Amino acid sequence: MSSRQPPASSADRATSPAASTKPELTPGPTTLEAYRNNGLLARPVSSEDRAELDAFFAARQQAIHTGQMHLLFAQEDYPVFFQTDDASGKPVTFIMDHERYLQMMSQVGPYFPRVPLQHGPREYIFLTDTLVIAHQVDTYDFGAEKASWRSANILVKRDGQWKNKGIIEGGFGEFLTANGVLRQEDLVAPKQK
| 113-133 confidence digits (pLDDT tens) | 677 778 888 999 999 999 999
Say how many domains are in the chain: 1
> What are residue 117's DSSP bridge partners?
140
φ, ψ (nearest 5 deg) of residue 110 = -65, -20
- Asked if 160 and 68 touch (Cβ cutoff 8 Å), the reply is no
Predicted confidence at residue 95, as pLDDT, reads 94
Question: Is residue 36 included in any domain, yes or no?
Answer: no
Q: Beta partners for 156?
A: 131, 163
Mean pLDDT confidence for 163-191: 86
Alpha helices in the chain (DSSP H): 10-15, 17-21, 32-37, 50-66, 69-73, 98-108, 173-178
Residue 169 in any domain: the answer is yes
Is residue 62 in a domain? yes
- Do the domain assignments include residue 38? no
Indicate the pTM of the whole model. 0.76
CA distance 63 to 59: 6
State the CATH number of the domain containing residue 105.
3.10.450.50
Host domain of residue 145: 50-186
Does residue 4 surpass a pLDDT of 70?
no
Residues 133-173 have pLDDT tens digits of 999 998 988 888 988 989 999 999 999 999 999 999 998 88
Q: β-strands 161-169, 76-85: how paired? A: parallel
Distance CA 116, CA 149 (A): 14
